[in-house]
Structure 1
Amino acid sequence: MQVTSVGHAGFRIDTRAGSILCDPWVNPAYFGSWFPFPDNSGLDWAALGDVDYLYVSHLHKDHFDPDTLRTYVNKDATVLLPDYPVPDLRRALEELGFYRFFETTDSVRHDISGPKGELGVMIIALRAPADGPIGDSGLVVDDGETVAFNMNDARPVDLDVLAADFGHIDVHMLQFSGAIWYPMVYDMPARAKEAFGIQKRQRQMDRCRQYIAQVGATWVVPSAGPPCFLDTELRHLNDDHGDPANIFPDQMVFLDQMRRHGHDRGMLMMPGSTADLTGSQLNSLTHPLPDAEVEAIFTTGKADYIAAYAERMAPVLAAEKAGWAPAEGEPLLEPLRARFEPIMLQSDQICDGIGYPVELRLGRETVVIDFPKRVVREPIPDEKFRYGFEIAPELVRTVLRDAEPDWVNTIFLSTRFTAWRVGGYNEYLYTFFKCLTDERVAYADGWFAEAHDDSASITMDGYEFQRRCPHLKADLSKFGVVEGKTLTCNLHGWQWNLETGRCLTTKGHELRSRVL
């Protein structure tokens, strides 16, 4: 097996049974804030994209790069599709021209017989609202000789399936660096921000080492980060100036930590590096540059490398910013009301979980998302808030223009905003901002409802049945329609026989129901 880094969380895995391209990302993400580090734009993407299989772990833009997928990746490739409850990833890939899909079952090994041989694969799909934009995943590949586990930035709960279905893992690729906006964007005293940064930097590397210990692979490749910030106003976020509170340490930092904890089989890979393995035997590790130059990119020459990188990418960043909506325009209150209020009316669990009005400062305008009352409104004089955000209006106008379903995957990961809060992190609040479609919010609200109560029932037209749709947990009191003895969930058109509970749309997904 040959494992080639194509940058960030991206790898090309070449086996005797075919080649797999994983998470190819080249173009800047999150309003031009994130670039791959080191630079991977000079790779031969036409050759890298000529593969038998494609795996995209989830829809975060540092994993799902539509321009690269559209331009370079073979559309005849079979997509190894994670088992997600909401079909957004499949739809996005279909829009780019992909049409061959192998639908996996979560955490189940599949032995795929292709024209070049048999390949064992498993995708561990994470499906809680906190996982990516409704989903994140890791891929296991077994070519009969070598087993690779590309965990990227997923956080699996149960890894016992690895040993049960694959035995020993030979090479393990996983995230070690930060991929969040906390604590940098928070309005808090500098000393507190530094303390939280130091704590987060260490905790994320500790978590990575715990995963390494659980998996027990022979070789470990730190990947899926860090991002590189090339915009002048964000350049300070790079870990190139000896800041112990920086949450974006690079591969060399983590490899050193691994060695200090007794693990000396970490591999440094940059875009274009290739590891050739036979089982757990590393036959060779080659880089596109001399070893000393590779090491300098991550150490003594890092600041200069980023400065030169920024100069090369200045036209790319300028083009990105030119595509944003203008900062000035009509007041944002009505567009935000039209966007948010229908979602709030479908999300009792989420709105009640947030529990307070949230302030949005948008340039000269302030808008309040009143979650308890399910309305978007103007602020009341002297009103106080537990949660608030200050966001440049051009960013908000852009996501509204583009009907973006996920502010987390656009505005928040850009770090181009300021936040404040009283008290701890509110998962419900950020879940709301990543679930701005009927499908997403129905699933997420149902997830939270089931976490607290799995027995809620409703009555309708002479029947009593479970409140939450067995498909995507939609609230059937809002989406259910009864005609005769048939229940239809209008979110996706799925149907059930209310006398028997049998799903009329697909196998399984029985409904708990009875005749009154």
Structure 2
Amino acid sequence: MQITSVGHAGFHIQTTAGSILCDPWVNPAYFASWIPFPDNTELDWAELGQCDYLYVSHLHRDHFDEKNLRENISKDATVLLPDYPVPDLKRELEALGFTKFVETVDSTKHRVSGPKGDLDVMIIALRAPADGPIGDSGLVVSDGETTCFNMNDARPIDLDVVHDEFGHVDIHLLQYSGAIWYPMVYDIPRKSKANFAKQKRQRGMDRARSYIEQVDATWVVPSAGPPMFLDDDLYALNDFNTGSESDQASIFPDQAEFLEQMTTHGTDDGKTHRGLMMVSGSTVTLSGSELLELSHPYPPEEVFGENKAGYLARMKAKFAPIIAAEKATWAPAGGEPLLPQLQALFEPAMKDSDLISDGIGYPVGLVVGPGVGSEGSGPENTATFVLDFPNRTVRMRDEGDGKYRYGFRIAPELVRTVLRDNEPDWVNTIFLSTRFTTWRVGGYNEFLYTFFKCLTEERIHYADGWFAEAHDDSASICQDGWEMQRRCPHLKADLEKFGVIEGDKLTCNLHGWQWDLASGRCLTSKGHEIRAERIDG
């Protein structure tokens, strides 16, 4: 088996039974905020696109690159499709011209037969509303000699099925770096923001090491890592590898740092775990667990360590005209009144989601005015709308409104663009761009962000039903002086594997959520109480 990194979470897997192209992202994503690191535009995408199979893990735009899929990927490729409850991914691929699909069953091994031979594949499909835009997934593939687990940025809850179906994993590809807007966009003191970012940074790497230990593959490739932020307004989000406090306050460590962490924390002990550096264009050839060859298009140190700042500066100059061209496609700041458009978008979703709207539980402020990279300025270009979830309405702010427990400030160009384009998911467009600011009083509200990614009738009904569905928490575990439910109240991770207890505080390392065990109260979000009792003696 020969595996070539094509950037970020993207890989080309060549076997004697055919080739699989995974998550081929190359064009700037999220309002031109994210660009693959290292640069992958020099790869021969037309050649890579002549694949036998295509696997797109989910609809996040750093995995689903519409332009690249349309222009470069052969429509004769057979799509390995995850088992998602809402068929948006299949619809999007069909709209691009793909017609051949293997519709897999979640966490079930399939024999895929083609003119070149047979492959065993399994797609672990995560289907909670918090997973991608209604779905995220990981791919296991075996050619009978070598087994590869491409987990990209999915967070599977139960990995036993991988070993049960495939035995030993030879190579494991997984995310280790941050991929969210928290805490950078929050209106909080600078020192607090830096501390939260350091915690977020370390939690992501801790979670990745936990997965590595559970999968226990011979080789490990850190992937789905940080993007490059090359727009002037976002450039400071990069980790420049200078060792400065600002770098440590970036949630975006790179491959080199994670490989160091693997060694420091004993995840790479020279026997059972070996971390491999791969950049865009790197190729590793395996026979079973035996590494036959690892080659790079250039020395990887050219883009890491003391050379990273210079590399990012060169990329900033290279991509400046591309980013400018992308910005030129955004909707203008002015136009038709926004209130009727926001009402038409949000109010039906509010009325179709009693559990989610009640879970949000309060009015949310939406300030549409000059933001990150916005052209306009001044109060005359600002309007505040109220998403009144208790009353299921959208209205203008009035004098009787106080301070909102949750609020967003977004530039009008971005709001008008997602409205123009009928985007069903503001999380997968505006929020991941980090081109906005937000504030909150109290904990994170998972219901609110779920609402923003489910702005179609089909999505919102599924998400509301998912939250309403009863989950079994009867199984218990004993750990560090506590007896508690085995499954995390958030997304049902196995706390025996992901739970870390310090005193009375439990942290689930799958997503970093925390609980006060003495009271059972969730410290991260409203609701989600845990059943726990201290063990005497």
TM-score between the two structures when normalised by the length of structure 2? 0.83
Q: For residue 151 of structure 1, what is the aligned residue in structure 2?
A: 151
* SS of alignment partner, residue 418 of structure 1: strand
- What is the aligned counterpart of 2:422 among 403, 417, 425? 403
Q: Distance in 2 between matches of 1:124 and 1:362?
A: 39
Preserved CA contact (<8 Å) 1:141 1:149? yes
Shift of residue 300 of structure 1?
1.1
1:287 matched to 2:296? The reply is yes
Q: Distance in 1 between matches of 2:3 and 2:471?
A: 43
Q: Distance in 1 between matches of 2:309 and 2:248?
A: 16
Q: Which runs of structure 2 are paired with 1:76-91 in the superposition (5 Å)?
A: 76-91=76-91
Q: Which runs of structure 2 are paired with 1:468-507 in the superposition (5 Å)?
A: none
Shift of residue 296 of structure 1?
2.7
Q: For residue 343 of structure 2, what is the aligned residue in structure 1?
A: 337
Q: Distance in 1 between matches of 2:190 and 2:324?
A: 31
Q: For residue 256 of structure 2, what is the aligned residue in structure 1?
A: 252
* SS of alignment partner, residue 292 of structure 2: strand
- What is the aligned counterpart of 1:370 among 380, 388, 397? 388
Q: For residue 500 of structure 2, what is the aligned residue in structure 1?
A: none
- What is the aligned counterpart of 1:435 among 454, 461, 472? 454
Q: Which runs of structure 2 are paired with 1:32-181 in the superposition (5 Å)?
A: 32-181=32-181
- What is the aligned counterpart of 2:362 among 326, 349, 356? 356
Q: Distance in 2 between matches of 1:201 and 1:75?
A: 39
Q: Distance in 2 between matches of 1:8 and 1:305?
A: 17
1:112-162 per-residue CA deviation (whole Å, 9 max, x = no partner) reads: 121111100000000000000000000000000000000000000000011
Preserved CA contact (<8 Å) 1:331 1:365? no
Divergent runs of 4+, >6 A: none
Identity %: 70
- What is the aligned counterpart of 1:307 among 281, 293, 313? 313
Matched residue type, 2:430? I
* SS of alignment partner, residue 63 of structure 1: coil
> Residues 347 and 167 (structure 1 numbering): CA distance in 2 closer, same or farther, change over 3 Å?
same
Q: Distance in 2 between matches of 1:367 and 1:216?
A: 50
Q: For residue 275 of structure 2, what is the aligned residue in structure 1?
A: 266
Q: Distance in 2 between matches of 1:192 and 1:307?
A: 28
Matched residue type, 1:374? R
Q: Distance in 2 between matches of 1:322 and 1:225?
A: 28
Matched residue type, 1:450? E
Q: Distance in 1 between matches of 2:456 and 2:49?
A: 32
1:319 matched to 2:325? The reply is yes
1:247-266 per-residue CA deviation (whole Å, 9 max, x = no partner) reads: 00000000000011220510
Matched residue type, 2:62? D
Q: For residue 415 of structure 1, what is the aligned residue in structure 2?
A: 434
Shift of residue 452 of structure 1?
7.0
Q: For residue 14 of structure 1, what is the aligned residue in structure 2?
A: 14
Q: Distance in 2 between matches of 1:396 and 1:109?
A: 42
1:413-467 per-residue CA deviation (whole Å, 9 max, x = no partner) reads: 00000010011111100000000001100100010111379xxxxxxxxxxxxxx
Q: For residue 447 of structure 1, what is the aligned residue in structure 2?
A: 466
Shift of residue 40 of structure 1?
0.2
More displaced 10-residue stretch of structure 1: 17-26 or 376-385: 376-385
Shift of residue 330 of structure 1?
2.9
Matched residue type, 1:271? S
Matched residue type, 1:277? L
Preserved CA contact (<8 Å) 1:360 1:367? yes
TM-score between the two structures when normalised by the length of structure 1? 0.86
* SS of alignment partner, residue 459 of structure 2: helix
* SS of alignment partner, residue 4 of structure 2: strand
Matched residue type, 2:227? P
Q: For residue 489 of structure 1, what is the aligned residue in structure 2?
A: none
* SS of alignment partner, residue 150 of structure 2: strand
Q: For residue 489 of structure 2, what is the aligned residue in structure 1?
A: none
Q: For residue 212 of structure 1, what is the aligned residue in structure 2?
A: 212
Q: For residue 510 of structure 2, what is the aligned residue in structure 1?
A: none
* SS of alignment partner, residue 388 of structure 1: strand
Shift of residue 313 of structure 1?
1.1
Shift of residue 301 of structure 1?
1.1
Q: Distance in 1 between matches of 2:213 and 2:25?
A: 28
Q: Distance in 1 between matches of 2:398 and 2:353?
A: 24
Shift of residue 332 of structure 1?
1.4
Matched residue type, 1:89? L
1:380 matched to 2:398? The reply is yes
Preserved CA contact (<8 Å) 1:220 1:266? yes
Q: Distance in 1 between matches of 2:172 and 2:471?
A: 35
Q: Distance in 1 between matches of 2:120 and 2:471?
A: 37
1:349-397 per-residue CA deviation (whole Å, 9 max, x = no partner) reads: 1100000000011111000000010000111315221000000011000
Q: Distance in 2 between matches of 1:4 and 1:446?
A: 40
Preserved CA contact (<8 Å) 1:51 1:73? yes
Q: For residue 473 of structure 1, what is the aligned residue in structure 2?
A: none
> Residues 452 and 165 (structure 1 numbering): CA distance in 2 closer, same or farther, change over 3 Å?
closer
Q: Please, which runs of 5 or more residues in structure 2 have no aligned partner?
A: 370-381, 473-537
Q: Which runs of structure 2 are paired with 1:223-234 in the superposition (5 Å)?
A: 223-234=223-234
Preserved CA contact (<8 Å) 1:183 1:196? yes
Q: Distance in 2 between matches of 1:89 and 1:339?
A: 21
* SS of alignment partner, residue 233 of structure 2: helix
Coordinate RMSD, CA, aligned: 1.0
State how many pairs are aligned.
450
More displaced 10-residue stretch of structure 1: 443-452 or 409-418: 443-452
* SS of alignment partner, residue 234 of structure 2: helix
Q: Distance in 2 between matches of 1:449 and 1:161?
A: 27
Q: Please, which runs of 5 or more residues in structure 1 have no aligned partner?
A: 454-516
Q: For residue 200 of structure 1, what is the aligned residue in structure 2?
A: 200
Shift of residue 181 of structure 1?
0.2
1:75-94 per-residue CA deviation (whole Å, 9 max, x = no partner) reads: 11100000000000000000
Q: Distance in 1 between matches of 2:386 and 2:338?
A: 11
Q: Distance in 2 between matches of 1:332 and 1:267?
A: 50
* SS of alignment partner, residue 128 of structure 2: coil
Preserved CA contact (<8 Å) 1:8 1:224? yes
Q: Distance in 2 between matches of 1:296 and 1:256?
A: 17
Shift of residue 328 of structure 1?
1.5
* SS of alignment partner, residue 428 of structure 1: helix
